[in-house]
């Protein structure tokens, strides 16, 4: 079930997303809506790229529903995608004609920093965007 949209004064928003491909588009829409409320729309293009990668990875590899959260910290935003798999994401080599294997490289290129934290029932992949930034 989707949580209410964040308020202008709110500092976080969180949504439970099902393990279906359509959840990726929904996550992108939720990012844009939350950033608009927070007057941080300048971050939307790059943040939606990273959210697409991380949510897709969770659905494809963890095969579980996810909790997607955004936390506003001044002009910065921390995103988190929690899933129910203890297996951490691993960068894969990707040749020029490979269809897969670039996700974590994209996350690293677009975000200021990112990482993985263990949870009792899986993990959280997190990423931070600070102000206006280009990949």
Token pair belonging to 66: 């996810």
pTM over 0.75: yes
Please state, as a whole number, how many other Cβ atoms lie within 10 Å of the Cβ of residue 1. 5
**pLDDT tens digits, residue range 64-118?**
899 999 999 988 999 999 999 998 887 666 556 655 556 788 888 999 999 999 9
Structure confidence at residue 84 (pLDDT) = 94
Mean pLDDT, range 21-42, rounded to an integer = 94
User: What are the C-alpha distances in Å from 126 to residues 72, 76, 80, 95, 98?
Assistant: 13, 13, 4, 26, 25
Residue 133 has a pLDDT of 43
Q: What is the dihedral of CA 90, 111, 128, 103, to 10 degrees?
A: -30
Residues pairing with 72 in the sheet: 77
CB within 8 Å of 121: residues ≥ 6 apart: 84
| The pLDDT value given to residue 29 | 96
pLDDT at 24 (0 to 100)? 95
């Amino acid at each position: 079930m989707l949580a209410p949209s964040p308020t202008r004064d709110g500092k976080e928003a969180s949504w439970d997303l099902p393990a279906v491909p359509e959840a990726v588009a929904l996550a992108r829409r939720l990012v844009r809506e939350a950033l608009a409320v927070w007057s941080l729309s300048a971050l939307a293009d790059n943040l939606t790229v990273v959210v697409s990668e991380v949510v897709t990875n969770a659905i494809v590899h963890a095969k579980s529903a996810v909790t997607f959260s955004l936390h506003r910290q001044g002009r910065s935003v921390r995103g988190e995608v929690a899933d129910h798999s203890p297996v951490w994401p691993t960068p894969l080599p990707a040749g020029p004609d490979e269809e897969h294997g670039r996700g974590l490289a994209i996350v690293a290129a677009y975000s200021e920093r990112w990482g993985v934290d263990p949870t009792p029932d899986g993990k959280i992949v997190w990423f931070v965007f600070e102000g206006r930034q280009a990949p």
